[in-house]
Amino acid sequence: MKSKQHPGLKWLGRIVFVLLIALSLALIFNEQIKSWLVSSYAPTVTAKSVKKNQTKKGNFDFSKVKSLDFQTVAKARMNKSSIHVIGSIAIPSIDLYLPIGNGVSNETLALAAGTLKADQTMGSGNYALAGHHMIKHGALFSPLYYKSKVGQMIYLSDMSHIYEYKTTQRSFIAATDVQVIDDVPGKKLVTLITCDKTGAGRLMIRGTYVKKWQFRQAPTQIQKSFSSHFNNKY
């Protein structure tokens, strides 16, 4: 005689089946979802919000930065208000467009480039930024690894001005070479740091200062590098 399955057990089996399917899909598309969470981050940036965020304390302890896994990115999106955006970086020749966050907290580096020193000022000293290198070639600082070359132009903006730099150096360095972010007397630089392909070393891109413009006085194409790729309001 065939026994009847209890209705509750039948529904439990269906729920477990759906959960297993969802888990399987999440594992399969983990990298794609992570890339989307990163690429779709579009904070509103204004001259007023930048000025306000510049007064907030940042976390500059790079030793506590974790690898960029799915959990870190998901947490960053849920806590995006903790990312204090103080500007943007654009390198049009390699399709790199990112907000700049104050400090190098895990939340900041999951979705933006982060400043490596406190109280940095665009257009003076050695403006140093760090960013993660992802499998997706267009996400975060990945374009630096795959496409950057000496001679390319780098632009920074605090929404009041645009600062132009020219790439003069592309080199691989040891993770312990932290002195590269120090100011160099008499020089105005931008230094961009990301991981190499192994994750053990670092790629350094360095540019020298060329000029700055009031935002609305910059060449139209350079203005569009920011206005077309960021959720900015002036």
| CATH number of the domain that residue 32 is part of | 2.40.260.10
pTM of the model: 0.84
Does the annotation mark 195 as catalytic?
yes
Asked if residue 2 is part of any domain, the answer here is no
Does the annotation mark 229 as catalytic?
no
Q: Given this model, what pLDDT does residue 233 score?
A: 54
> Domain containing 130: what range?
7-232
Query: Which residues touch 197 (CB under 8 Å, ≥6 apart)?
Result: 133, 145
Residue 209 has pLDDT above 50, yes or no: yes
Q: Which of 84, 132, 133, 229 is catalytic?
A: 132
Q: Which of 84, 161, 195, 229 is catalytic?
A: 195
Phi-psi region of 122 (alpha: psi -120 to 50; beta: other; left: phi over 0): beta
Least confident of 7-16, 81-90, 91-100, 177-186: 7-16
Angle of the 30-39 helix axis to the 7-28 helix axis, nearest 10: 60
Asked if residue 95 is part of any domain, the answer here is yes
